[in-house]
Amino acid sequence: MKLSFKGDLKELTQGMEQLSSEIGFSLSEEGVPVSVHKWDQQKLQVIYQNGEAHIYYQENIHFFRALGLFLEHVSRRDSFTLEEKPQFITNGIMLDCSRNAVMQIQQMKRLVRTMAKMGLNMLMLYMEDTYEIKEQPYFGYMRGRYSKEELREIDTYAHQFGIEVIPSIQTLAHLSTFLRWDTSNQYKDTSDILLAGSPDTYELIQQMIESASSSFRSNRIHIGMDEAHLMGKGQYLKKNGYQSTFQIMNDHLNEVLNITSEKGLNPMIWSDMYFRMASKEGHYYDQYAIIPKDVIEEMPKEVQFVYWDYYHEDEAVYRGFLKKHKEFGSTPLFAGGLWTWNGISINYDKAWNTTQAALSACKKEGVTEIFATLWGDDGAETNAFSSLLGLQLLAEHNYSDHVGVEKVKRRFQFCTGADADAFLALGKLDQPPFKSKEVQLEPDNPSKFLLWQDPLMGMFDKQIEGIPLNDYYCELEGELKEAKQKVGEWSSIFDVPSQICSVLSIKSELGIRLKKLYDAQDHQSLEKFLNQDLPLLKERIETLRTLHCDEWMNHHKPFGWETLDIRYGGLLARIDTTRRRLDQYLQGEIDSIAELEQEKLKYLKERDAPGFVRSNVYKNIVTPNVF
């Protein structure tokens, strides 16, 4: 569609040029007249009548949202007035760049363009050690770290749409990949926690903060401080003796805040450590935990606290914890999650339910800044772009008091060119028959443990006995292949999940079948198993490995793929070993197969009925032995 814009477009032109082909317009003096007005009202408005359009906006990101709304409706209606009032000042995502998947710059730009069309205005980059510190050559070594120039390029690109890019780093825990090197010993309390109170540590943190913040326009920085469970229990204890964890935390935080203050930065931290220290069980979500008033009084006031909660589906729980955070003397930011980390597939059911409950609570409690996390736990097996429908839900919550499913789907179709129901199918890998109907804080993830579990050990076989999983995944493979035809430019995202289903249509029940045939001494069927089933499974896994590698190399820097490559290699090797041992048994070279003689036990004994479990750590899935 040809459009002719009028008004002050100086800050908008570059972004418009980037989006023109994606949302279907071109600039022409002969096009539909569009008058652009920047105003001070906290809302955006689109008016179209008599063949002429007016767009009113406050922030640049609102203009791009409004432009999309105009183009979405103009082909269907002769005249209309659309008005949306943003519910949050900050609304965006945190992208995990630390669990091996460091996104390529061109893909980062693709993500930014998609966010702009949706109207999301913040991108946080979670970088434990995947950014450059010139004084620390081992910091991010062989991890695909971003250079300052790369980060500056991301920031500049996002800025043209009005999207703020914020660095998120760690200044206490979650630094095991850096602290593994012997050159880091002077900074180490435990294997993943920095040594609080040490001058060397604060020199390092100064380098961190200087390097991480220097590439961005934003004066905001997330400095972490979460999940330091053993803080003060390692080298700190040997050097200083026992100290109150509250005191260590406050003292350390104050030292770090001195650094951010000197650099004119506005810091934020995760809030969980204060709640864990106040909980008798060390839990974050302990509703009975009370942080002492003297501790609250000593807590720094110049830092924003981030309440993270990806688990609850009850709005009242969020409201209760938001109120607890307000006792700190300020309104927290809220961080939800889009469940890209549950295994090898996204879990849309959990992402949808938690987001709906959490953001409704945030609106009622006056929270003005929110974001959703896209973690990549245990090797980033799930492609972050599979969460795009979750981003759309996040965006619609920003521009509506109440969010309807149909509006989310309609806007998703416009912003991405993809069918929402097709994306929802990606979440079905962990939704087979006998899925627990109970609300689970951490949902089961059968697709991951079924893929990686050993064919001979079969640690999860007893847990899933009697469930027709082969049939389920065979049907889902067909559904995903059909869905792939409905998602336009995002079709490659469906290749890996579809092929996982192809693998699981054989492998899900493979160990159970093998054990039954072995116990029955059915040598004829075991011969077929050896010469047909296992070779076919290996062929499908090799195809999956190739597809997954291609996807990784198209989206991320190559560093980190070796972890998944080793997993696939291990799985293929174990199939070879299974074939070899089965052949030896059938040829009479060995009298028995010890792994199949072993009685199979449930992975979780308390689960009496058939069902699933959650196991999201590869090394705990593949073997009970030392790994």
pLDDT of residue 509: 97
> CA 22, CA 117: separation in Å to the nearest integer?
9
pTM: 0.97
Average pLDDT over residues 299-316: 95
Angle at which helices 405-416 and 105-118 pack, to 10 degrees?
130
208: three-class secondary structure by DSSP: helix
Chain mean pLDDT for the chain: 96
Q: What is the CATH number of domain 446-620?
A: 1.20.120.670
CA atoms of 224 and 46, how far apart (whole Å):
40
Residue whose tokens read 């308390």: 606
CA distance linking residue 419 with residue 421, whole number of Å: 6
Domain boundaries 2-84, corresponding CATH code: 3.30.160.230
Give the tens place of pLDDT for each residue, 447-502: 999 999 999 999 999 999 999 999 999 999 999 999 999 999 999 999 999 999 99
Residue 335's DSSP bridge partners are 308, 371
Domain coordinates in residue numbering, the chain: 2-84, 90-416, 446-620
Tell me: the pLDDT tens digits for 148-166?
Answer: 999 999 999 999 999 999 9
pLDDT, residue 488, reads 97
Tens-digit pLDDT profile for residues 385-397: 999 999 999 999 9
497: which 2 tokens? Answer: 């999940």
Instruction: State the pLDDT at residue 434.
Output: 79
Closest to 495 measured CA to CA, from 543, 538, 454: 543
Nearest CA-CA partner of 358 in 401, 311, 405: 311
pLDDT at 195: 98
Q: Nearest 5°: phi and psi at 97?
A: -110, 20
* pLDDT at site 437: 72
Residue 606 pLDDT class (50, 70, 90 cuts): low
Q: How far apart are CA 311 and CA 339, in angstroms?
A: 10
* pLDDT value at 334 more than 90: yes
Dihedrals φ, ψ of 37, to 5°?
A: -130, 120
- Mean of pLDDT values over 87-96: 98
Tokens of 93: 């995502």
pLDDT tens readout for residues 193-208: 999 999 999 999 999 9
Cβ atoms within 10 Å, residue 390 = 25
Longest Cα–Cα distance in the chain: 88
Classified as helix, coil or strand, 38 is strand
Whether 185 shows a pLDDT value over 60: the answer reads: yes
Report how far Cα 284 is from the mean position of its chain's Cα atoms: 20
Query: Rounded to an integer, what distance in angstroms lies between the CA atom of residue 183 and that of residue 136?
Result: 9
Q: Given this model, what pLDDT does residue 609 score?
A: 55
Closest CA to 117 of 259, 217, 22: 22
Amino acid at 548: H
Res. 281 pLDDT band, cuts 50 70 90: confident
Q: pLDDT at position 536, please?
A: 98
Q: Helices in 2-59 by DSSP H: which ranges?
A: 13-23
Span 214-221, average pLDDT = 98
Own/partner long-range contacts of 139-146 (Cβ < 8 Å, ≥24 apart) = 139/178, 140/178, 141/181, 142/559, 143/100, 143/102, 143/177, 143/559, 143/560, 144/100, 144/102, 144/556, 144/557, 144/558, 144/559, 144/560, 145/102, 146/97, 146/102
**Positive or negative CA dihedral for 228, 92, 102, 141?**
negative
472 in Cβ contact with 432 (< 8 Å): yes
Query: According to the model, what pLDDT value does residue 146 have?
Result: 98
CATH among 3.40.50.300, 3.40.50.970, 3.10.129.10, 3.20.20.80 for 90-416 = 3.20.20.80
List, for residues 357-396, the tens digit of each pLDDT value.
Answer: 999 999 999 999 999 999 999 999 999 999 999 999 999 9
Give the length of the chain.
627
pLDDT at 513 exceeding the cut of 90: yes
Is the distance from CB of 206 to CB of 187 less than 8 angstroms? no
Query: Which DSSP string corresponds to 485-539?
Result: TTSGGGGGGGHHHHHHHHHHHHHTTHHHHHHHHHHTT-HHHHHHIIIIIHHHHHH
pLDDT of residue 608: 56
Which of helix, strand or coil describes residue 306? strand
What confidence score (pLDDT) does residue 35 get? 97
Residue type, 51: G
